[in-house]
Structures are given as structure tokens and as C-alpha cells.
Amino acid sequence: MKIASIVGARPQFIKAAPLSRRLRKGHQELLIHTGQHYDRELSHIFFEQLKIPRPDYNLQVGSGGHGEQTGKMLLKVERVLLKEEPDLVIVYGDTNSTLAGALAAVKLHIKLAHVEAGLRSYNRRMPEEINRVLTDHISDLLFSPSLRAVENLQREGIKEGVYQVGDVMFDALRENIEVARRVSGVMEELGLSEGEFLLLTIHREENTNQFENLNSLVTAITSLEERVVFPAHPRVRKWLRHWGLWERCLTSPNLMIIEPVGYLDMLCLEERAKAVLTDSGGMQKEAYYLRTPCLTLREETEWVELVEGGWNVLVGTKAEKIKRALAHLSLPLQEGNPYGRGEASKRIAEIIGRIGN
């Protein structure tokens, strides 16, 4: 089969890496990068570290409002699909690149597969929730990470073509954690000791674009006793400056703002942190896989199993709740893994192979 994989943002490179390798054993894969992320630290470094083949197309769509960005992607992806005529399009996760790729494919009657189908936050104000719901409803093959995700789809009437396969990000982590431990020098470079720092990331629109939330997070983080390492996504940098909070961060003695780090450094930081504080979807799971407590800086999550199991605490953005959770960090016993055994990409490749024959 000729398969077009569409990626564009940081977590999608990580999700695509293990599956791409497997698909290429039996099919022709065409890799399309929308250009949603373009900084070296958000894009190129992941291709290098995860040994992802160079994209066949980089559509260089870049940043913009939701409509502008998604619209440009739709236009450019469609042109490529018309020219290449793939048998199957694969999209990943819940970004604007996901939705644009999905729409372009179905309108051309090309079979569509969605990796990470069925996740729901049930918060329609999140752009990602809209992207997920719409993509799921137009996909032919829905690869879900968990039973809960399959049930979410069933509740919306989507029953055909749904497969519970586990989490492709777990595959990526398993494939890279030993290398990360061996080659990453990030702990020494930053002068960190294991268990003696908190790892922070913020990039969710609701936390950056709303002054109240970002201000509250800055107040909370800068008042902590622990050292906080903060690889800051360009979105949060932009909004910290916009809201006049940047100086407060720079002058705070416990806060270490650094550039976004590569995947291998990130795995090391996640594994060695006392706790991860994040609004990232991927990092909630990685913290769990690496047995590091996680505080999620949101009111809800798609990865509900981790909250129910006590691995992840939803703390929102207020200092009081964050401090209370930090004072009671604990790691429950790990029984099974709701997101599979790290064989998601193998299973997806098998199913795609069966369908293509």
C-alpha cells in the first residue's frame, strides 16, 4: 500500500516514529510535515533523535489563527494527496494538523486512520477536543489507546473500525529510554540532582492565553521551595511577555527557564524529577511510565485512568492546590497498564496490513 502519514507538531513526530518504522517494512510510506512546528527544538531535533526519515513534503504552513492555519494546511495537504493518490492516510492525536489531514483525505475518498482515537476531555473550549471529535467521526480506522477510549467512541455511535491497540507513545518511550539514560547529559548540564527538582511544562491555550490562569501559575510556581526546571514552549514565552509576567519568572530564584529540550533529555528529566507539573497530554503518560508523580495543571484530562489510579492529580492553576498535592506525593502500586504493553505500533501495522490485503 501507499500510505501517507501526516504530522506537524512535536508530539506527532514522537507518535509517528515507531509506527513509521514498522509500516516501511511492508508498505511505501509518504511522510507529510505540515510545518505547524518549525523551530529546531520543536521539530528537527525529534527527526534526528528518533531517526525519523526526512519528510517527503514540508508544507511550511507555520503559525496563525486556527482558521488560517487549518485552512492553509487543508489546501496544501489536498494538493499533495491529489498528486500522490495514497491508499491510506494516517493522522495522529488532536492538533490542527490532525484535523486538516483528516478532512483533506475524506473529501478525496481516501481511507483514513486515526491514531489515538476516542480520547475526550469533554471540554469543547479546547481546540484539541474539537479536532479529536471531528477526526474520529470521519475516520475509517480508529486506533484507541485504552478501553475507555473505545467506550467513548461507542457512546458517540462509532463502533466499526475501532481497535484497542495501546499507546504508541509507550512504544516510543520503550525504544528510547535506554539510549536516553546512556547519552543524555542534561542533568549535569543543568546541575541537577535526582529527585531534587520539579519539571514544569505549560503550553495549553487555556493556561497561556488567559491572564488569570497564567498569572496564577506564575504565582504558584515562584512561591515553591523546590527548584523548578521549565523547558518553555514558544507559546508560553510569548504569553508570559504579553501579560508582563516574564520578568517575574526570570528573577525568581527557584525557577530555571530553558529552551524546549529534545526527546532524550526530556525522558531523563521526567524520570529523575521529584514530580512533573504539566498541562501536556503526552507528559502525563510518560511520568506514569517512568514512575514519577504527576500534577496536571488543568481541571480535566483525557487520560482519566491515571487520575483514578492515583498516578496523576488534577491541580488546576491555584497555588494552594499545587502545594497541597506536592506535600502528599505518592506512587500507588502499578497493576497492569491501561495503555497496553508497548506494542501499539506493531498491532496497528498488523491491522493495516490485513486490511490492505
- By the rule CB under 6 A, 37 interacts with ligand UD1: yes
Distance CA(258)–CA(175), nearest Å, equals 26
Classify the phi-psi angles of 316: left when phi > 0, otherwise alpha if psi is within -120 to 50, otherwise beta.
left
Burial letters 59-88, b for 16+ CB under 10 A, else e: bebeeeeeeebbebbbebbbebbeeeebeb
Active site residue 33: no
Q: How many CB atoms sit inside 10 A of residue 217's CB?
A: 25
The yes or no reply on residue 137 touching ligand UD1 (CB under 6 A) is: no
Residue that has been written with the C-alpha cell 457512546 in this structure: 155
Partner whose footprint covers residue 263, from ligand UDP, ligand UD1, none (CB < 5 to 8 Å by kind): ligand UDP
Part of the chain binding ligand UD1 (CB under 6 A), chosen from 117-125, 186-194, 232-240, 290-298:
232-240
Find the binding residues for ligand UDP in span 180-219 (CB under 6 A): 201, 203
Nearer Cβ to ligand UD1 (25/54) = 54
Q: Which residues of 165-195 are buried (b: 16+ CB within 10 A; e: fewer)?
A: bbbbbbbbbebbbeebeeebebbeeeebeee
Work out whether 344 is an interface residue with ligand UDP (CB under 6 A).
Answer: no
- If you write DSSP's letter for every residue of 218-277 in order, what string do you get? HHHHHT-SSEEEEE--HHHHHHHHHTT-HHHHHH-TTEEEEPPPPHHHHHHHHHHSSEEE
Q: How many residues line the site for ligand UDP (CB under 6 A)?
A: 16
Verify binding: residue 14, ligand UDP, rule CB under 6 A: yes
H/E segment holding residue 214 = helix 211-222
Q: What angle do CA 85, 90, 92 make, to 5 degrees?
A: 150
User: Stretches 38-46, 115-123, 185-193, 219-227: which one binds ligand UD1 (CB under 6 A)?
Assistant: 38-46
Give me the catalytic one of 109, 203, 242, 328: 203
**Binding ligand UD1 by CB under 6 A: which of 34, 49, 96, 284?**
96
Q: Does 312 bind ligand UDP (CB under 6 A)?
A: no
Please identify, using beta-carbon distances, which residue of 10 and 114 lies nearer to ligand UD1. Answer: 10
The span from the first CA to the last CA of the chain, in angstroms, equals 9
Select from 86, 145, 260, 340 the one that contacts ligand UDP (CB under 6 A).
260
- Under DSSP, the state recorded for 123 is -
Residue 116: which of 335, 340, 287, 278 has the closest Cα? 340
Report if residue 266 touches ligand UDP, rule: CB under 6 A: yes
- From the CB of 239, what's the least distance to ligand UD1, in Å? 9
Under the binding rule (CB under 6 A), the answer on residue 243 touching ligand UD1 is no
Stretch that binds ligand UD1, among 6-14, 79-87, 150-158, 239-247 (CB under 6 A): 6-14
User: Which residues of this chain interact with ligand UD1, rule CB under 6 A?
Assistant: 9-11, 36-39, 42, 63, 94-96, 127-128, 203, 234-235, 238
User: Which residues of this chain interact with ligand UDP, rule CB under 6 A?
Assistant: 10-11, 14, 201, 203, 231, 260-263, 266, 280-283, 286
Residues annotated as catalytic (active site), given as ranges: 203
